[in-house]
Each structure stands twice: as C-alpha cells, then as structure tokens.
Chains A and B, each alone.
Chain A
Amino acid sequence: MKILVCIKQVADSSDTVQIDVRTGHLFYAANTAFRVNRFDEFALEEALLIKEKLAGTSVDALSVGPERVSATLQRAMGMGADHGIHILDRADGYRSPFTIASLIATRVAVSKYDLILTGVMAEDTMASQTGQLIAALLDLPCATSVIQEEIRPERAEILVQREIEGGSRETVQLKMPAVLTIQPGINSPRYPSFSKVMRARTYAQELIKAEDLATEEPRELCRRVRVPEATSQGVLIEGSAREKARKLISILHEKALLS
C-alpha cells in the first residue's frame, strides 16, 4: 500500500504575520517561526498507524512552498514518513487552494498512491479545499472530516466515518485509490524524538520546481487582505484585574444573572 500525506507549513503564531501596506498582502516578519499545520499532523499520524498495521506500506510526505518547507518534511520523516517530496514554490502573495491542489495533482498523477491523506483544513487560510480539489482533479473519490477509517485491502476499499454537524457520523464506503481529509481527534499525533528529527536531516528529499509542473490558470485572485471591521456591539471592561472582576459582577447583578 502506498500512502501520500500532504502537509502544509504554517507560521507558529499569527503574531508575526503582518499586512504589507504597499501590496495589501500578508508577509512573514523576519522572526517568524514555522511548523506543521496541526490538522495535517493528524493525517500524518493516521498514515503512520496504517503503516504499522499493514505490512509493506510506505508513506510519502509532500509539501508545497519555498526553501524553508524542507524543515517541515524533515520533521515528517522524523515522525516516520519514508520519503519527502518538496514542490518548490517561491511565489509571493496569494496562492489559491486551486493552484496548490493542481500542483500536487500534477505531481501525484505520475505515482500510483492507494491513499492520499491531508488535514481537514489549514490553520492559516481555513479554506477546507485542497484535499477535495486534489481528488476532483484526479477523478478520485474523497471523504472529508474523517474521524475513523478501516481499510479492507483485499477488496481495495476503505470504510470511513465522517464527523458531521452535532457530532453525528456519516458512514461512507470508498473504492481505493481515494483521498481522505482527516478530522482532529482521530488519533494523538506522536512527538518525534530530537535524535530522529536530527537523523532525518540527512535523508534526501525529492525536489521539484513548481514552474516545471503543468498547472491550470488560477480562477480567483485576492484583491487585498485587511483586518476585520470591529462589528462587535460588545463592551470591553477596563481597569485592573480586580476592578474588571467587580465591574463584571455588578453587570451580572443588573442583568439578574447572579442570585
């Protein structure tokens, strides 16, 4: 069984992400630390759990982005991925989920994966699109928000439970090859030991330049990024911590919320 996990590198904290007033786009301050998108860690862990259960399984990790992304792949290999694929994309500014998915789909079309996993969304852009788009571009079945999976290798099938509204679950049966986007909570992602991550530094990564991959034209553009308008009707309570506590209590009294 061959599994691909698509992982995204994100800024560790939004505090170092700022708007460039000239271009209207986001940029990372020089002191920005990067890490793996938390949602993708669940996808990688699930792939590694399958590998431990099914003999002969290999796990590839793929990421799109500039040079710094190789550290993310290194960590994935430290966690237990066998191979790292880096699609080197140095482009600045807005990259739509469609552009990223079409880069990945073009690269993936040449390898035969039985299963492609990714997180249900990215923490930064929160679009919940890339996995589904990869599936659609490759004409593969896909299930999103997967909270449980059971592979039936002899039938080339996978049975999954999707988490839907109110915590209900939908059972879907998919023919492999298939794409799954993984819901957090499905497992507890492992922490790779320092020595494993250091050893992974010496592992080769496959490097492909984004411009060498044939992709489709973008279908939308980002006009600008801004901070949200303050739409809150709410009141920010001011003062020292104790003053704030007292003011809040008197408000709750007025509203008869304290007996």
Chain B
Amino acid sequence: MEESTIYIIAELRKGSITQEAYELVSFARAIGKGKSPVFLLLGKNIQEQAAEMARKTGCDTIALSGEHLDHYNTLSYAQALAEILREKAAAWVCLPHTSMGYDLAPRLAVLLQAACITGVQSCVDGSLSRAAYSGKFVEEIVPTTPRVVVTVLPGAFQPCEETTGPTGKVKSKDVASTELPSQTLGTQESVHRDSALKDAEVIVSGGRGLGNKENISLVKKLAAVFPRSAIGASRSACDLGWFERKHQLGTTGQTVSPKLYIACGISGAFQHVSGIRGSQTIVAINTDIHAPIFQVAHYGIVEDLTLFIPILIEELSSN
C-alpha cells in the first residue's frame, strides 16, 4: 500500500495564517510518527504567506491561487483540493475545526471517499479521540478507509516551534474558476463588540447553568465588587436572551485575556473555552463536577450558584 501523506489545509484570516495551522503540524507529527506534513494554502496572491509557512515550519507548501479563491467557499475550495488529493491513494487531510474546517471537511471526505472525523482532541495508537456530550465522554474513533479527513479542535495541540533547519519547498498552482451553485460574496466584521471586555482586568461571566434570567443579577452584582470589571456570557446564555450579544465570549464572540476570569454556570464547551484560554487565572463555579470547564479552571468550586455567589459577595465586601 502506498505510504500515507499528511496534508494540512492552512487557513488565512485577514490575510494572515492562523495559529491553528501551526497546531496542526504538531497533530500531523503525532499521527505521522514524526514525518513532516505538506501544507496546502488557498487564496489570491498568497506567495508571501506560502513562503512564510515553508520557512517557519520547514514543511513543503503548495499554494493554490485563483481570483475566485480569495474568499472561502465550500465548493470552490473542495474542488481545488480534491483535484490534488485524488491523486493520492492514501492520505490524511487535516483541517482546523473552525467555521471553514467543519464546513469543508465533510464535502472533501465525500469527494475523496474518505472517512470524516471532526472535533479531534488527541490521538493514541491509531485512534482519534473526540469529545461527546459537552466533554463528559470521549469517543475513540478508528478510520477504516485509506483516506481520512480530520478536523482538530483549536488549542488541542501546542503550535510547533519555528524551525532553524532548511526551509520547505514552495510550489504554486493556478486554479481556474468554474461555474458553481454557491458563491461567497464577502465578509462583514461583527457589530457586537463590547470594548469594556477588552480592557477589563476581571471578567465575571454567566452561562446556561444560571438556570433563569433572574439569576443574571448575581453575575452583575459579583462583577460590581471588582473595579475594572466587565460582564461576559456564553453563547447559549445569549441565545436564551439572558445577556446582550455584545457580552458573548468564545469562537463566535470575543476573545479575552483578563487577569481574572470567573465562569458562573458555564459548562465549558470548547467554543467558549477557546475565547477565554488566555486568562491568567480562571475560576469556575458550577454544580456539575464533570463540567469540562473544571478541566481548564485553575480553581474550581462545586456549589449552587444562587447560594454561593451571595456568600462570596458578602465575604468580599467585608474583606
């Protein structure tokens, strides 16, 4: 059987290579037992970025260029990638588990007759581990096809170190555009931004575990005890209408890095955690000891919020 080649599909955001591309190098080395992966980069005028990747990682890089690849689009990206990857009888194709990665991976898998495994966190002797039930369980998945498409959770692997060795080879390929039933017209910046979150030293945030809308006052009162504080929220608490959208933290919200982050009733799905990982000290208060937030918290408190927060406020005030 042909030896597997490992490909990484790097993502560009505002013209720069995202951190996840370097994390995927570490993942690729783990599954490939040290063997170097090959980068695939798509876009318009991407020679500079391709050269940067090859230099920083020492990995060979293929730049697929085309006017129509400027914005991400499922069909145009899948078509360009499948053309190259189809030639390989065996291959691992690795993407970040981002809005691009999970959008593209299943399409690519069907085109390549490959297994598709998403949200991977780690790999142990031939199996890929992924979380289920918000992190309460871990599934160990084993692909049974020679070609495999994987998305890896952002932050699950450390980014690779910059190499001092030889730079990777850069190959360029122009991709012609064809008429497709889907077209990406453009991207708009978020309108929901709370600048207070960026500058806050302390962020107190609430999630679905608050139980009801009335309990958000607990989050507000706790935040009010700290000077230079701001209020954050999980996506599901915003979806429920408990908090305004501008308070949302995580993948589809803001990314913050305060000195102190206090998560109240937040389960800690990776989408939330990826937005708060940079906090210096994370305190989690939750009734469920199995909540994944306790995996990232520096200090965990298993208590009922409605009882505990008033006591904490009282103690803080008398301090």
* Chain A residues close to B by CB (< 8 Å): 14, 17, 19, 26, 94, 97-98, 101, 123-129, 132-133, 135-137, 140-145, 161-175, 178, 183-185, 188, 218-228, 230-237, 241-242, 244-246, 248-249, 251-252, 255, 257-259
CB <8 Å contact, A225 and B138: yes
Tell me if B143 counts as interface (CB < 8 A to partner A).
Answer: yes
| Residues of chain B in range 277-313 having any CB-CB distance to chain A below 8 Å | 281-283, 289, 292, 294-303, 307-308, 311-312
CB <8 Å contact, A248 and B102: no
Using CB atoms, name the residue of chain A closest to B270: A126
Residues of B within 8 A of A127 (CB): 118-119, 130
Q: A132-B107, A232-B296 are in contact. Are A168 and B189 (CB under 8 A)?
A: yes
Residues of B within 8 A of A237 (CB): 299-301
20 A-B pairs within 8 Å (CB atoms) are namely: A14-B134, A17-B136, A97-B118, A123-B134, A128-B102, A164-B98, A165-B252, A167-B192, A172-B73, A172-B185, A219-B109, A220-B143, A221-B142, A222-B141, A228-B131, A228-B136, A241-B311, A245-B311, A248-B283, A258-B226
CB <8 Å contact, A227 and B116: no
CB <8 Å contact, A132 and B106: yes
Q: Which 4 A-B pairs have the closest CB atoms?
A: A167-B190, A136-B110, A132-B106, A141-B182
Q: A136-B110, A225-B139 are in contact. Are A126 and B132 (CB under 8 A)?
A: yes
- Interface segment, one of B2-10, B46-54, B231-239: B231-239
CB <8 Å contact, A126 and B107: no
CB <8 Å contact, A133 and B106: yes
A204 nearest CB across to chain B (Å): 33
CB <8 Å contact, A166 and B252: yes
Using CB atoms, name the residue of chain A closest to B292: A228
* Chain B residues close to A by CB (< 8 Å): 13, 71-75, 98-100, 102-103, 105-107, 109-111, 113-119, 127, 130-145, 180-190, 192-193, 202, 226-227, 235-236, 238-239, 241, 245, 248, 251-255, 259-260, 281-283, 289, 292, 294-303, 307-308, 311-312, 314-316, 319
Q: A98-B115, A257-B281 are in contact. Are A172 and B183 (CB under 8 A)?
A: yes
Q: A168-B189, A252-B260 are in contact. Are A236 and B300 (CB under 8 A)?
A: yes
Residues of B within 8 A of A255 (CB): 281
Q: A141-B181, A257-B259 are in contact. Are A169 and B117 (CB under 8 A)?
A: no
Residues of A within 8 A of B140 (CB): 222-226
Q: A163-B252, A232-B295, A248-B283 are in contact. Are A168 and B190 (CB under 8 A)?
A: yes
- The distance in angstroms between the C-alpha atoms of A234 and B281, with both chains bound, is 10
- The distance in angstroms between the C-alpha atoms of A76 and B165, with both chains bound, is 59
Chain A at the B interface: mostly helix, strand, loop or mixed? mixed
Residues of A within 8 A of B72 (CB): 170
- The distance in angstroms between the C-alpha atoms of A162 and B99, with both chains bound, is 9
Partner of A245, one of B105, B111, B132, B308: B308
Using CB atoms, name the residue of chain A closest to B154: A165
Residues of B within 8 A of A142 (CB): 74, 103, 107, 182
Q: A132-B106, A232-B296 are in contact. Are A165 and B116 (CB under 8 A)?
A: no
Residues of B within 8 A of A168 (CB): 187-190
- The distance in angstroms between the C-alpha atoms of A246 and B311, with both chains bound, is 9
Partner of A144, one of B103, B117, B184, B259: B103
Using CB atoms, name the residue of chain B closest to A188: B241
Q: A128-B119, A228-B138 are in contact. Are A17 and B133 (CB under 8 A)?
A: yes
Q: Which one of A128, A184, A230 has the highest number of Cβ atoms from chain B below 10 Å of its Cβ?
A: A128
Residues of A within 8 A of B116 (CB): 97-98, 129, 133, 219-220
Using CB atoms, name the residue of chain A closest to B102: A128
- The distance in angstroms between the C-alpha atoms of A250 and B187, with both chains bound, is 47
